[in-house]
Structure 1
Amino acid sequence: MIDQKVLIVDDDKIIRKIAAHMVKISKLTSSDPLLFENGLEAYNFLAIEKNKNKNFIIFLDINMPIMDGWTFLEKLEHEKLLDEKVIYLFTSSVDKEDHCKGLNNKNVKDIITKPMTIDKLRKINMSLQRVV
């Protein structure tokens, strides 16, 4: 199994902590998830890491201050930072437009509605192992 880093990008501190705990329990990765408060923080981290040849799974909230999920995706695509990244929109949005936009984005693997659950993470883990 290729070990990957997990990034949780969400402006809600409690959501980040709960999601990080769920990721640890599910054994989606062997290391602690990296937590970011907004898209700009996560983007800056990925820009620094771009030449380090790591795989990333990113759980990305849509609605955040400073840099929202859509802008984050656009910047990654524009800067060609999408290689080795699997992105899941991680949202509480029930807006059909958000879901359609996410599912139609070639860089988004799927949409996960909050809250994070062990079952959802296990399904992700199984789908990622089939790809490897």
Structure 2
Amino acid sequence: MMKTMLYALAALVLPVTTASAHDVAKGELVYETKGARVTEVYAHVLPDNPGKSVKGVLVEYEPGGYSSAHTHAKSALIYATVLEGAILSGVNGGEVKTFTKGMNFTELPGDRHDVSANASKTEPAKLLAVFVVDTDDKVLTTPRKP
């Protein structure tokens, strides 16, 4: 648990790279979830920034697992770091990119996350997503409809 919290704190100060992307396999959006476990592992109100909080979310994918296409809370700025394996990510209809252990990407408020999936059919994958959000935002992820 302490290691995960340290990852969340480190993510706030590490350099950020952005990624754009689009689909898992053949340019189609994914609207279901399979083999994915999402756990909030950290939450803290930001001092001297009324109404804002930082929340750490651990996303664990089984081999071949994926999350449905989704959006996040409208206030959410997200910094994600791959902790294990490789993750396919696609945002706003752009190119799908593969991020491996230690790599990171950012999602901005209003972005559409079209693809979030384990790149491997045989190995698990894990990422830590650090959200900076309005403290009142309780629903961090909303599946998109086709």
Question: Scaled by the length of structure 2, what TM-score is found?
Answer: 0.26
Question: Scaled by the length of structure 1, what TM-score is found?
Answer: 0.28
Report the structure number with the largest CA radius of gyration: 2
Q: Taking CA–CA contacts closer than 8 Å with sequence separation of 6 or more, which of the two structures ends up with the larger relative contact order?
A: 2
**Structure ranking higher in strand proportion:** 2
**Structure ranking higher in helix proportion:** 1
